[in-house]
Structure 1
């Protein structure tokens, strides 16, 4: 049983968020048993209320974010009456109505009341609610589809929060809709799944939309610990008419064998200056002649023109850059 905590005049259970595993969408033979939601590019948030019209917001790390997002305070009035615990994601939407994690980062961790009030006007957050784990009593063992029915019945609608519906049994429809909408991906949740606090469960699966890009390696940074002397990450660029433009460093996904291979290749093509036409904002860079081409996967572009969440796929010896 989850531990309880007091807040205001009534108790509610302290519940850690359930987490999804990375995996493919359920196939046609099993998709009827699954629900599909948009994967939001934001920050997980647990909403707690003792039922007195106030709320307490807690991040995935367990930090109190109530004062960070003051525009979510009025949600408490809609939850007035019964102690409740809900699950959701805090996002900041761009001009096209799509989540922008860079904008959200300007809000995260800020606790000064004057500053949070100003930021709430400049970059208002939106809380996407997708589960309810407690409502005057525990719903942890209640199947997902029943919890969602309870959540829908609360009719939580406001300028800064909503509880979007899910799609049941239509994986590809959800996938295409999220792709066309410019969202990060899809989260599949088994309709019969219980809510398992703090557990990364295969009953929930997340699948991201990934783009691939061939980039030119113009340098590298040294790894730490057991990777001393080897590339911890490579400095990636794309060829443009003005020259090679730096688009970010890529280290995630590199195997030990690939790091050793890259060390051998980069060791024979050192350069005494940056090959990039724009600034490279990393410390300890080792430059290299921009000859090696690699394929990377990423989820999108930042406003600064950098790759978002880049992952190394493979070296492309068939595409050696000669320009």
Structure 2
């Protein structure tokens, strides 16, 4: 079940909602068969269990009780806050168990659990959120690398202000009477990001100058509008030297002679690429034409496919 971008529920409906901290990690469904084993699957369905060996003891936490849980794998910085860039060194290692084991010893992840869909052979997806949450908390899943953070009922404004004060990514609002809708981006779950961000597809790049010769000076970003990829602006800041080099190598493998944008933007000297790279950018506002103002690169979204990047609809244009 996925959340829809939005804003706080009306104050008159505040008591009908629960509020959870929005995490910045890799979403995972956790399968506990009840035999001591554990299987983790990403949103794509990929088995990512081997990437996170420190989570395997969770398989025995419920004894012979089988369960399917919803959660998110995080990498925490020194202040205990989720850091997606730290997590990227752990993602994609399901096929490299030896390396995953080494990193688990030096940079362990933490799994936060926030829902239960099946328990002891019974599906709970038709139960309201409040009852599912109570069942989850009754399981007492607290361990060295996993936890069940609390949810606050009501007081949405205070919860959102607290996430901003502590530099957290945002808030997820969940309607107390909502059922669990697998695979659905539902209005019963609303996500609020403290940063104004957007997922974009990279459709081209402009070459850098001087010491950046041969490297991308700016990326040309687009967002889906039906079947078309609409150009929304160029992004020329926010990378480290290492990231710029990594992007250059990836872009070279995607070179094409055909512009992927409709209509073709005015971008003299542009190099076009197949729109397979998903990036997250920060921006100040959006123009009436839908262009992003003051965009800055945040990260490469290796956890999203190009199709998933279109799931978050763009913010309404502003003047």
Q: What is the TM-score when the length of structure 2 is the normalising length? A: 0.67
Inter-partner Cα distance in structure 1 for 2:115 and 2:295? 31
CA spacing shift, 1:118–1:202, aligned 2, 3 Å: same
1:255-296 Cα deviation digits (max 9, x unpaired): x99x88x73xx76xx9xxxxxxxxxxx9679xxxxxxxx733
Pick the aligned partner of 1:118 from 95, 102, 110: 102
Task: Identify unmatched segments of 5+ residues in structure 2.
Answer: 198-205, 207-216, 239-246, 248-260, 274-291, 300-308
Q: Report the counterpart of residue 114 of structure 2 in structure 1.
A: 130
In structure 2, the partner of 1:167 is 152
Counterpart in the other structure of 2:294:
296
User: Relative to 1, partners in 2 of residues 1:115 and 1:20: Cα closer, same or farther, differing over 3 Å?
Assistant: same
Preserved contact between residue 295 and residue 314 of structure 1 (Cα < 8 Å): no
Contact 1:71 1:120 in 2 (8 A): yes
TM-score, normalising length: structure 1: 0.66
Shift of 1:233: 3.9
The gaps in structure 1 that reach 5 residues or longer are 1-17, 239-247, 249-255, 271-281, 286-293, 303-308, 317-323
Q: Paired residue for 2:184, among 190, 199, 202?
A: 199
**Pair 1:296–1:118, CA change in 2 (3 A):** same
Please list, as runs of the form range in 1=range in 2, the aligned pairs for 1:1-323 lying within 5 A after superposition: 18-111=1-94, 112-136=96-120, 137-210=122-195, 221=220, 233-237=233-237, 263=266, 295-296=293-294
